[in-house]
Structure 1
Amino acid sequence: MSSSKQNKSGIANLLSAGNNIPKFVPPVLREVGKLAAGVAAVNTTLGSATGNPRNKCALLPGHSLMDWIRLGSSGKDLTGVGSRAGQLEVTPAELATHNKSSDAWMALRGRVYNVTAYLPFHPGGPEELMKGVGRDATNLFEEVHPWVNYESILQKCYIGPLVSASPSVDVKQLFNSSKTPENKKPVDVQASNSKNPVPEIEIAGPSPEKEEEPVALPKFDWIQKMNDISVFFYTPPLANPLVEVHRVDDVVHVTLCYSNRTFNNELVFSKGTEWPCVVKVNFETGKIECAFKKTKGNVWSNYGVLKQSSKLAGSFSAKNKIGYVVTNKMPVSSNVFLIELGRVDGVLIVMPIANHVRVFAETKDKDFSKSYTPIPSGLFTQLGYQKISTDKLYLMVKRYQDGNMSKYICDAIKGDILLLSKPFFSLLKLSDLEKKENFLLLAAGSGITPMLSILLFLLERRVRKSQSIRLIFCNRKLNHIPCKQQFDNLSTSDSRFKVEHILSDPDNNWRGRTGRITKEIIKSTIEEQLSSANYPKLDLYAFVCGPSGFNQACFDYLTELDIYKEQITVFEG
């Protein structure tokens, strides 16, 4: 055996030895070995749905993750289908024929990959990966390691979508084959004895009188490094959850709201962590990460204790108001302002995509309120996808001279307190977008607000990438267009996104379209959008938001152009 092979084998043995590492091992390698052992020692106390340690095997030299990345970047065709890669539609019958180690295809969440080249690189060993070859392995993947970013690892192996062989077959079942966890009775958690209990989350929606059947709790997992620890919760893909994270004394409360239910997760760590944490949400896969910095840098043998419970979400009540302090304000056009709001109670919040909240004004003369859609935080800097949440909420409000509510918000200064509701359920179901690849956004004035989070979500999809997104944005004057430069920059940097502005009252220097939205404008945009790759109209999905007259006109035009109402979401502007 060569000396290099001996060295690598020795390191592998160290990593498997855990705390039984000889004293002569360099300190850095000693800590790495302890870390590997600590990660494997997963706590299986109440609520941990994925508590088994990951089974790993020793990989041959030259088969590390970095080696795999280098192979993927070498230009070698890992798909085996050449120029058809990414476009070849694969039926279950065809998939079943590629079931050998020399010809290994696998389907994950509706996407088919050629994993032949990846077999010797798989940390669990080729034998484990072969269990899913020749079939839809989504259930197996979800049971073993749903947190793994397989889209990134196997991106060079992607062959194409898994499709039905017959129109009579339910294609949705093929694409959404994740195994539903077994129904379990929720674990009742006693109310906190803290003086500052976490406020219950309420979302507008139906409130059945009684439970129909037991509901599965969100899956849970954890992973650690020397100085930090991350806990993961897994909602169904495209569930579009509301996430709130709060700490009371030593108890971390992670509250998730989706599917008309509230899921309470109470987490007590075995050792100290700092606050606040960092929250990341992947709305497409349903993965939620809460990352904490450890008070002391060391390896934990277990994470602590998790208790979970759930209940039906309540209906919205005007009595349930939350205080937000104005922390920043900036203009984005002559009459539109961005407002940054921080929770007074310090709760970290990630809003569901395109949900709205209600803002309340209480004055000496009159009380009034109005609904607004929160926007991505990136608008304060550069329009782009923001994966990390803060304890802030962001509004974009157009100030009307005769609008009591808009003046109340836009005239607020730093330090003022505004009262907001919990979020309402949105008309939008992200699951409706799962199979669509082309999108048309029709907005007028402040109707752009729900489009912003939708736009960034569509651009960041990975399981089924968006091919084309067109925005037609109607305003009165050029200086009334909010974030025009940011839209133009995004259109330049991402070829999938195009924006067209229409002004109803332009000045003499304007060279774009003028007037109002018409059927002909929408028709030509759709035809251009679908013609490039010969997509059918059924692949298109349209969003509409603006004044009521604009919404009705756009809906009528779309239906006259043979766009079904199931392909349209209209928001009230």
Structure 2
Amino acid sequence: MEDAKAYSLSEVSTHKSRTDVWIAIHGKVYNVSKYLDEHPGGIDAIMEVAGSDATTTFEDVGHSEDAREVMEQYFVGTVEGHVPTAPAVRGPAPPAAATVALAAPAANASSSTPASKPTHSPMTLLILGVPAAAILGYQLLVRMPGGHSVSGHGHGHSGGFWTGFLISSTLGTFVLATAIIRLEKAFSISRDIGSFPTHITPTNPVTVQVTTNKGVLNPKEYQRFPLARKEMMSPNVCLFVFRLPTPRSILGLPIGQHIAIRATVNGKQISRSYTPVSNNTDKGELRLAIKLYSNGQLTGGYLANLQIGDEVEFRGPKGTMRYRKGHFKQLGMICGGTGITPMFQLIRAICEDPADDTNISLLFANATENDIIMRDMLEEWRAKNPKQFKVWYKLDHPPEGWTYGKGYIAKDDILTRLPPPAAGTQILLCGPPGMVKGASKSLLELGYEKPNAVSKAADQVFLF
């Protein structure tokens, strides 16, 4: 690295054609021209940052360690004048259970706040003040010239009345004051706010159990899970069920995110991302619906040949989508084939949560009716939530009596079946590149925002 050639970002910016693509990441320059066709996110995702510093985009997507290793073979130099900084550390997930002890402070611990002086309540002052005033009044009375009454009327014998009145008032008030003071002490009402501690320290430490089942996934290390079951869901889509370490284990995958599978095929290490159709309520197993391509490096050459008991390497979570209840009021979904899997995860989370009132409109395209995977669950959720969840199917080759749409998803389908563009609306897309490209164009024409090649969870139009 010390002998690597240094390039200015201006020089990097001249390499941004489809046959000559350079990018900079964390002060390193890479020529990724030969990697375009192999990039799992597609060519457009790289072309959007071609000739620029792609560090932020690279980190936002959540690339794995494998991706970082792959990049090293395309390293050509460093960024001129780059000052290395400590990369953001994606720390490990919190432990399964954390114990927080709230212990009492040391007895001689000092406080920066001066102690408040004990004071009496206004009632106490009033009670003590009355007899004091009575005594003072009596003293004034007996010292008045001629011993006349305070009213100035009557004769000297009226002084006996006032003397008795003042003496009885004084004695009665003293008795009442004494009783109230004792009550104040009993109920601690004579202390002002400043005399109370800012918190009450328990005699014994309090132990609070914070239980968080973080799941078995590890974003930095691959783990091996054995295949427990597999079955065909459609002519070319297979359901793979993998067994987690224990019957009570959960995957620990945030809603909307995906995982990576790694395998060595014909001496070459291959990695692909998939969204599970199971979630954290499905204990002890991981379920994936994967379309098998005969010429697919991972699906045709590896997954299709898996036998029960074979172990597969997994890592995650991955992705920039992380569903948050209430973030959007309306979700519009456009998908084709196995592009339903990330949508399925979101639909399930919303429809199975009585407290989530997010409305969902789904456009689901397939070649034939037999290709519609997980239709039974979609129909069940629609029946239970008819106002909240709506679905419209489209088929290239519909059977006789088909009551839904025919052909590809068109602009009119989006206009009539999905919510209009608004601040509380998000559109999600996943499926074949041609479908996604066509739908993205239609959305733009209808007033939705242009989707980014690298989507973020808050985008109005999100591409999985």
Q: 1:414 to 1:434 in 2, by over 3 A?
A: same
Call closer, same or farther: CA 1:549–1:263 in 2, change over 3 Å. Answer: same
SS of the residue corresponding to residue 262 of structure 1 reads coil
Q: Which has the higher contact order (CA 8 A, sep 6+)?
A: 2
Could you tell me whether the CA contact under 8 Å between 1:326 and 1:339 is conserved in 2?
Answer: yes
Aligned-partner SS, 1:349: coil
The number of aligned residues is 266
In the alignment, what sits opposite 2:343? 451
CA contact (8 A) 1:333 1:480 kept: yes
Deviation at 1:515, TM superposition (A): 1.1
Alignment of 1:25-64 (within 5 A): none
CA gap 1:350/1:435 in 2 versus in 1, 3 angstroms: closer
Partner SS state of residue 351, structure 1: coil
Partner of 1:343: 244
Alignment counterpart, residue 354 of structure 1, candidates 256, 262, 265: 256
The separation in 2 between residues aligned to 1:388 and 1:461, in whole angstroms, is: 12
| Partner Cα separation in structure 1 for residue 277 and residue 211 of structure 2 | 32
Q: Which one has the largest radius of gyration? A: 2
Aligned pair 1:490/2:381, yes or no?
A: yes
1:357/1:373 contact within 8 Å kept: yes
Distance across 2 between alignment mates of 1:269 and 1:428: 31
Q: How does 1:280-319 map to 2 (within 5 A)?
A: none
Q: What is the letter of the counterpart of residue 433 of structure 2?
A: S
Cross-structure match for 1:568 = 461
Normalising by structure 2, what TM-score? 0.50
Counterpart secondary structure, 2:391: strand
Matching residue of 1:558:
443
For residues 512-535 of structure 1, give each alpha carbon's deviation from its aligned partner in whole angstroms, at most 9, with x where no partner exists. Answer: 311111111111113xx56xxxxx
Check conservation: 2:329, 2:424, Cα contact below 8 A. yes
RMSD over equivalenced CA pairs, Å: 3.6
Partners of 1:447 and 1:305 in 2: CA distance: 40
Report the counterpart of residue 321 of structure 2 in structure 1.
Answer: 428
Percent identical residues: 22
CA distance in 2, matches of 1:487, 1:304: 41
Asked whether the equivalents of residues 440 and 470 of structure 1 are also in contact (C-alpha less than 8 Å), the reply is yes
With over 3 angstroms needed to count, the CA separation of the structure-2 counterparts of 1:508 and 1:402, relative to structure 1, is farther
Q: Who is 1:393 aligned against?
A: 286
The answer (yes or no) to whether the contact 1:435–1:464 under 8 Å persists in 2 is: no
Residue 490 and residue 265 in structure 1: after superposition, are their counterparts in 2 closer, same or farther (change >3 A)? closer
Higher helix content, 1 or 2: 2
TM-score by length of structure 1 reads 0.41
Please point out which of 330, 333, 339 is paired with 2:231. Answer: 330
Q: Distance in 1 between matches of 2:269 and 2:391?
A: 39
Runs of 5+ consecutive residues of structure 2 not aligned to the other structure: 1-61, 69-83, 101-204, 213-217, 451-458
Q: Match for 1:562: what amino acid?
A: G
CA contact (8 A) 1:360 1:368 kept: yes
Question: Is 1:417 matched with 2:315?
Answer: no
- Give 1:543's aligned residue: 428
| Deviation for aligned residue 1:429 | 4.1
- CA distance 1:515–1:323, shift in 2 (3 Å): same
**Deviation of residue 343 (structure 1)?**
3.2
Identify if the C-alpha distance between structure 1 residues 262 and 356 changes in structure 2 by more than 3 Å, giving closer, same or farther.
same
Give structure 1 stretches of 5+ with no counterpart.
1-202, 213-258, 271-300, 309-313, 378-386, 531-535
Q: Deviation of residue 363 (structure 1)?
A: 4.0
CA change 1:403–1:269 in 2 (3 A) is: same
Task: Tell me how far apart the structure 2 counterparts of residues 475 and 452 of structure 1 sit (CA, whole Å).
Answer: 15
Equivalent in the alignment of 2:105: none
Q: How far off is 1:205 after superposition?
A: 7.4
CA distance in 1, matches of 2:265, 2:396: 35
The letter for the 1-side match of 2:330 is N
